[in-house]
Structure formats: structure tokens, C-alpha cells
Amino acid sequence: MKPHPNVKFLRKGVLPHKFCLGCGCGQVLNYLLYAMQELNLDMNKVVLLGGVGCNSRIPVYLNADAIHGTHGRTLALATGIRLTNPELKVIVITGDGDCFSIGTNHFVQAARRNLDVTVILINNGIFGMTGGQAAPTTPIGSRTSTSPRGSVENVFDMCKLAEAAGATYVSRWTTAHNRSAIRSIKKGIEHKGFSFVEIVSQCPTYFGRYVLKISTEKPLEHLL
């Protein structure tokens, strides 16, 4: 049997992944593989950065230099890497909690500097890994494990924030728009300057359970 052409981008010995059934992170990982394949990226010159959260585990599964595991600080790490070696393609894979709760300032400042990195944000509207707490992206009125009477706070529009801060490529799709998302990821990686690709994603386990009150069988429906 011939292996899948994208398998070469995956790190050996780390699979199976830990994403829940129906989670959008697996889809975005797959979109990223297609983007890498179509761009024919030299993985020796790619550095992937993930913070903390379900989405931030994606760099663990990819076969490139990578840092994983500090909450919200990916763009500060990216700054040091990019300034030291301008040949490297730095791709940050982050989530709404990682990038827009704990890491907002680093994101805004890196966008202001128009740092030449690509940020792929997986926005599932909730803190998934820690058990479904409200995030700055949770829709008003949503019941979560830390907003039992419904969230009362306004919601971040992260594309507007990125644009205002100075990002020079900004794009938003959902996990239900696979080809478009792949195209945007490719454009983001090829773009010289700060590029931001938001992919609105589903979290059947917590967002589905607390907010949508639906089963995991129809995870994508609320995105369309």
C-alpha cells in the first residue's frame, strides 16, 4: 500500500493524536498538511510554535523544528527566532484562549511590528482543554462551566483586532470551508509580513455540550 503523500509531514512516533471525536483541530492539521504539500515547503526551514490548549498540540504532530507548551507566549518566541534567522518560516498555531486571552499583548505587538510570521488561529469559542470555561470569544448569553447564568461579556472580533494592530494579511474561514481555508493558509505562509488566518472551529465536547446543547454527531452544523 502506498502511504498518503502528506504522511512525510508528520512526526514519527507521536500518533495517535489526542483530539476528541469531531474536534476541528484534526481538520486544521489536515488543512495545514495540504497547504505544506501544495507549497512544497522545505520542512527543514520551518519552525512551528504552539502554546497551550488543544490546538497548540498541532506542532507536536508535525515533522519540523517546534516549540510547544507555554501559554500565550508563542509570538514572543517567534520574535527571537525570526530576528536571529530570517531564513526560517515561522508558523504559530494557536487558539482563542492562547492568543486572545493570555497572549493578546504579544499578538498585538507582533502585528504592530509586522513581524514576518504566520499565525493560524483555531477559534472554538471556549476553553476546551481545561473543561469548557468561557473565553473572550464565547458568544454573549452562552452557558459554560464558568458562566452558569450565561456569559455577559462582549466578544472579541479577532480579525478586526489584527487589522487594527497592523497585520498585513488577515483572513477568516471555518472548518466547514476546507478548500478556502487551505488557500488562505497557503497565502498566509507565502505572505511577507504578519499574516493572520482565523479558522472558526467546533468543540463538540464542550461548546457543543454547554452552548449548543447538541450531540457530537452534527458538529459542523452551527458553523454554516
**Interface contacts to other proteins, rule CB under 8 A:** 11, 13-14, 43-45, 47, 59-60, 63-70, 73, 76-85, 87-88, 105-106, 109
* Closest CB 83 distance from other proteins, rounded Å: 5
Of the pair 17, 222, the CB lying nearest other proteins is at 17
By C-beta, is 76 or 212 nearer to other proteins? Answer: 76
Nearest residue (CB) to other proteins, 49 versus 181: 49
Nearer to other proteins, 38 or 42 (CB): 42
> Is the separation of the CB atoms in 14 and 211 below 8 Å?
no
Minimum CB–partner distance for residue 117 and other proteins (Å): 11
Residue with cell 492568543: 99
CA–CA separation, 215 and 88 (whole Å): 42
Pairing type for strands 195-200 and 169-174 reads: parallel
Minimum Å distance from CB 74 to other proteins?
Answer: 8
Name the minimum Å distance from CB 39 to other proteins: 17
- Alpha helices for the chain (secondary structure H): 24-39, 58-61, 74-84, 96-97, 104-112, 158-165, 178-190
Task: Report which DSSP code applies to 72.
Answer: T
Give the shortest CB-22-to-other proteins separation in angstroms: 23
Nearest residue (CB) to other proteins, 105 versus 215: 105
Q: Residue written as cell 454573549?
A: 140
How far is residue 127's CA from residue 54's CA, in Å, rounded to a whole number? 9
